[in-house]
């Protein structure tokens, strides 16, 4: 798998993890975990699926005999350090199993074998998936992304341009804009910080208009409270004010910044 393919897969892992996080409810909540997204995350990682009774189990072998890491795919997302038989009795017992006092104790309390649940489980699975990817790169890998982006821009392939920009955004920690910085019809990425006074600071800012196939960049931060600068940003997006970089120069600039970046895939987007 090429670096570009690995990075695209990493972005997909982050997207799926965010989908799951958005559906995890508080104790007693009726919200349902996005099992389809969670299943895809598990299939990308070191788990094997096993169906037992009405349970979807995802098992990671750990070389400790019968005891394994076993994730039950339900709304609690509990991970057990136990045997398959033990987990099945605790989660889906039949009548004859409930006659045993020992089993009743297991059914009523699983604190002795549960090692994580909900958000903690999601974070662990997210980390395991990313650790399976080779995300090491050199300048030639970045140049390949830049070249693909330029070819797409010159050919009017908006999907190809957006893909290249999303890859550089991942490497540089650029994110989607806060509400005040959104511009209709534009794909936007930028650096986001919070000032000591609580004001949001967004920038540098990459602006892409897929309909016009126009790519521009403002290489300076803008505070949310700077209304005139935000108006100026809209003018830049419309081509009515001068951008710091335009067209191919945006991709060239992003590549040079990425060459000197310290990309940490486990830190960039944590669910």
Using the structure block, give the residue that is written with the tokens 């710091």: 244
The C-alpha atoms of residue 221 and residue 192 are separated, in whole angstroms, by 9
What is the overall mean pLDDT for the chain? 93
Predicted local confidence at residue 109, as pLDDT = 80
- Reported pTM: 0.89
Task: Encode pLDDT of 22-45 as tens digits.
Answer: 999 876 677 899 999 999 999 999
Helix (H), strand (E) at residue 31: none
- For the chain, give the percent of residues with pLDDT over 70: 94
Q: For residue 109, what are the CA distances in angstroms to 84, 89, 90, 141, 207?
A: 17, 12, 9, 51, 53
Task: Encode pLDDT of 100-137 as tens digits.
Answer: 767 677 777 888 999 999 999 999 999 999 999 999 99
Helix (H, G, I), strand (E, B) or coil at 51: strand
Task: Encode pLDDT of 221-254 as tens digits.
Answer: 999 999 999 999 999 999 999 999 999 999 999 9
């Amino acid at each position: 798998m090429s670096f570009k393919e690995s990075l695209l897969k990493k972005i997909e892992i982050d997207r799926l993890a965010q989908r799951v996080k958005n559906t995890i409810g508080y104790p007693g909540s009726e919200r349902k975990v996005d099992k389809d997204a969670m299943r895809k995350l598990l299939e990308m990682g070191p788990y094997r699926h096993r169906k037992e009774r009405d349970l979807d189990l995802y098992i990671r072998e750990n070389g400790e005999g019968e005891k394994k890491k076993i994730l039950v795919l339900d709304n609690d997302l509990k991970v057990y350090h136990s045997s398959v038989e033990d987990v099945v009795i605790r989660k889906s017992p039949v009548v004859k199993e409930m006659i045993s006092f020992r089993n009743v104790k297991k059914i009523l309390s699983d604190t002795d074998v549960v090692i994580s649940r909900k958000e903690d489980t999601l974070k662990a699975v997210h980390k395991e998936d990313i650790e399976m990817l080779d995300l090491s790169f050199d300048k030639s890998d970045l140049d390949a992304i830049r070249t693909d982006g330029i070819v797409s821009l010159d050919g009017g392939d908006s999907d190809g341009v957006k893909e290249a920009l999303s890859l550089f955004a991942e490497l540089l920690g650029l994110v989607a804009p806060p509400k005040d910085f959104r511009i209709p019809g534009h794909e936007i990425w930028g650096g986001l910080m919070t000032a000591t006074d609580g004001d949001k600071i967004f920038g540098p800012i990459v602006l892409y208009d897929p309909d016009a196939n126009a790519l521009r960049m403002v290489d300076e931060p803008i505070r949310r409270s700077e209304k005139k600068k935000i108006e100026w940003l809209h003018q830049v997006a419309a081509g009515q004010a001068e951008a710091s970089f335009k067209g191919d120069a945006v991709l060239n600039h992003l590549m040079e910044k990425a060459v000197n970046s310290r990309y940490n895939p486990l830190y960039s987007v944590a669910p």
